[in-house]
Homo-oligomer: A and B are copies of this chain.
Amino acid sequence: MGQKKREVQNKLMKGLLDLVILQFLNSNPMHGYQIISSIRKNFGVYFGPSTIYPLLNGLEEKGYIRSQWDLNNERPRKVYELTNEGQGLLNYTENTLNHICRKISNIGLSNNLVNGLNGILQRPMCSTAKNTVKK
């Protein structure tokens, strides 16, 4: 089911693109094309300018990222960076995703326990490593 697998991957990624972009910009200021190629390089899926630029504009309008023109290149490029608000959104989105992932894995666990079906052996799907990494 190669085509279907690609669909699943694209669908999941699409729902997480804001988070991915914020996470990239949390590490380094980047211009749009860098974000597009980083997504392709890191995740093996391609989202083009017509997907990424509207997301960047939306995030900028809401104050989560800000941009400035980098004129040190042959061709001037808009470089995006995270604002404090964006940092807050990134943290909140990460935590919410972790929470949802734990809940999803608990569906299997709790219902299997109710059914007496190997509940204890069910593999948690996604879990936060918060408790294992000391700050």
Residues of A within 8 A of B (CB): 1, 4-5, 8-9, 11-16, 18-20, 23-24, 26-28, 38, 42-43, 88-89, 92-94, 96-98, 100-101, 103-104, 106-108, 111-112, 114-115, 121, 123-130, 133, 135
Contacts and interface: CB of A to CB of B under 8 A. Distances in A.
Contacts of A112: 27
B14 A107 contact: no
Q: How many identical subunits does the complex contain?
A: 2
Nearest to A38: B107
Mostly, the A contact residues are helix
Contact of A107 (B12, B42, B124): B42
B97 A126 contact: yes
Nearest to A23: B107
Contact of A124 (B9, B108, B114, B129): B129
22 contacts: A5-B96, A9-B96, A12-B93, A12-B97, A16-B104, A19-B104, A24-B107, A27-B114, A28-B115, A38-B107, A42-B103, A42-B106, A42-B107, A43-B100, A43-B103, A97-B126, A101-B101, A123-B130, A123-B133, A123-B135, A124-B133, A126-B128
